[in-house]
Structure 1
Amino acid sequence: MAKKVLVVEDNDLNRKLFCDLLRAHDYVAEPVADGREALAAAQAQSPDLIIMDIQMPHVSGLDLIDALKKDDALKAIPIMAVTAYAAKGDEERIRAAGAESYVSKPISVMKFVEEVRNLI
């Protein structure tokens, strides 16, 4: 059975790219465009991995990671954070929030797929 990946990304092009890459490697990609829907989507779908954009309108990816890791039913799901704002200290803050992996945008296709494989 194919592994399910929840893709939380507000940018249409990035969300499509991530989902297309996942599907091309035999994963089931479940897109979420609005971060405010991420927690409910994770609870409803029980994904094997969550790919989380950090900079989104309405809600921070860091806050979502924190909420996911505080939920007993979801805390074991690995999270791969993706962000275009790779400033000094960002990776440490993202990992401290609970993300198991971190990839900066623009993504390297090879690194993206390798990180997904490493996490599930």
Structure 2
Amino acid sequence: MADRKCIMLVEDTASHRKLYASWLKIGGYDPHVLGDERVAQRMAEELRPAAIIVDIRLPNISGLDVIEGLKADERTRAIPVMALTVLDSATDKDACLAAGADVFVTKPDHIATFLDRIAALLV
């Protein structure tokens, strides 16, 4: 569907990929799901998504490093980023925002608030 906005999701847990991709579809978005964060930068450059959701606890590269890389590159710097994590301390939130995340969301979230946060990223 041409009018659906592409949202890139970087998430290593299969059940979470399925859940958040289904929520994005329900919200009218076109999810592009990555199970391997090592290709996130290249895919962001190729896809030019409307927003990127990055899990913070990833197996190969920290989600913080993924976000920092996206925000350091002029080709992807302007793409809004949501940090999505089970980590919920103020320190974790500060670290995500310092890395360049535009919004910090703690798992599990609810579909309505999740979609509201995505919509807010896109304005």
- TM-score category, normalised to shorter length: over 0.9
The answer for the alignment partner of 1:77 in structure 2 is 79
The answer for the alignment partner of 1:119 in structure 2 is 121
Return structure 1 stretches of 4+ with deviation > 6 angstroms: none
Count of residue pairs the alignment pairs up: 120
Matches of 2:13 and 2:108, distance apart in 1: 13
Give the alignment's TM-score, normalised by structure 2. 0.94
In the TM superposition, what whole-angstrom CA distance separates every residue of 1:58-92 from its partner, at most 9, and x where no partner exists? 10000010000011010000000000021231111
The answer for the alignment partner of 1:68 in structure 2 is 70
2:16 to 14, 17, 36: 14
The amino acid across from 1:70 in the alignment is: A
Matches of 1:54 and 1:111, distance apart in 2: 19
Structure 2, unmatched stretches of 5+, are: none
Secondary structure of 1:55's counterpart equals coil
Which stretch shows the higher mean deviation, 110-119 or 85-94? Answer: 85-94
Q: Percent identity?
A: 36
**RMSD of aligned C-alpha atoms?**
0.8
Give the alignment's TM-score, normalised by structure 1. 0.97
Matches of 2:17 and 2:108, distance apart in 1: 13
In the TM superposition, what whole-angstrom CA distance separates every residue of 1:25-79 from its partner, at most 9, and x where no partner exists? 1101000001111111111101000000000001000001000001101000000
Structure 1, unmatched stretches of 5+, are: none
TM-superposed deviation, 1:109: 1.6
Mapping of residues 1-120 of structure 1, within 5 Å: 1-120=3-122
